[in-house]
Structure 1
Amino acid sequence: MTVLNDLYKLLNGHFSWPDKVYIKSIPDKAPSDSTFIFITDSTQQLKDFGSNAFRSMQYDLEIQIFYSTKSTLDYDSVELDLMRFLVSKGYVVSNVRGRMQDPDTFQDYQTIIVSKTERGI
C-alpha cells in the first residue's frame, strides 16, 4: 500500500465536516456547494544515507481543503484539528500555504503539505 493510500484511508470517514475525500483527481462536476478534501503526492526524498545506501524515504503529500461556497465552518478550527490529528498519526506538517479562492468555483481552499518518513526501505 502506498503512503498516499494510507493517508486516504486515514482521512476518509474520520471527520464529519468533509462531504468527500478525493485522491489524485477531483471529478469535473464536483459540486461547489460541498466541502471536500483533495490529496495528492508531492515529492519523495531518499534519506539516511550510509555505506552507499539509503535507509528511509520521506514522502511529502499535499492536502487541500475546498470549502463549500455556503460553508459556515470555522476554517481555523477545521484546519488546526486536521493538523493535530495528522501529527498524532506520525505526520509532520511542513508547510501551510494560506487560504486562496478557486477562480472557477469561488470556493475558498487551504493547502497543507505533510511529510511521512518510512524507515527500513
Structure 2
Amino acid sequence: MTALSNLYAVIDANPNWTGKTYIKTVPENIGADKTFIIVRDSTQQLLDFASNSFQTMQFDMQVQIFYSQESDDDFDQVEMELIRYLQSNGYFIENVRGRIQDPDTFQDYQTIILGKQERN
C-alpha cells in the first residue's frame, strides 16, 4: 500500500468522521451540501543518509476538509479532533493553512499538511 492509500484508510476508518473520504480526486457530481475530505500527495524527502544511501523516506501529504454549506458543525472542533486522530496514528502535522472559501462551490475548506516517515 502507498503512503497515500494508508492515509486514506486511516481517515476513512475514523469512527468520528461522518463525511465521505476521497483519494486524489472528487467526483464532479458531489454537491456543496456534503461535507467531505480529499487526500492528496504533496512531496517526498529522503532522510537519514548513511553509507551513501538514505535510511528514511518522509511522505508529505495534504488533507482538505470541505464543509457542507448547510453544516452546523464547529469547524475548529472537527479539525482538532481529526488532527489528534491523525497524530495518534503516527502522522505529524506540518502546517494548517487556515480556512478559506472555495470560489466555485462557496464551501469553507481547510488544508492540513502532514507527514509520515518510513524507515528502510
Q: CA deviation at 1:15?
A: 3.9
Deviations 1:69-119 (A, max 9, x none): 000000010000000011111100000000000000000000000100001
Q: What secondary structure sits across from 1:64 in the alignment? A: strand
Q: CA deviation at 1:14?
A: 1.5
Deviations 1:29-49 (A, max 9, x none): 111000000000000000100
% identical equivalent positions:
55
Which aligned segments of 4 or more residues in structure 1 are displaced greater than 3 angstroms? 15-18
Q: Is residue 41 of structure 2 the alignment partner of residue 41 of structure 1?
A: yes
Q: CA deviation at 1:17?
A: 4.2
Q: Is residue 113 of structure 2 the alignment partner of residue 119 of structure 1?
A: no
Q: CA deviation at 1:18?
A: 3.5
Paired residue for 2:83? 83
| Aligned counterparts, 1:65-84, within 5 A | 65-84=65-84
- Aligned pairs, number: 120
Letter in 2 for 1:72: D
Gaps of 5+ in 2: none
Root-mean-square deviation over aligned CA pairs: 1.0
Gaps of 5+ in 1: none
Paired residue for 1:12? 12
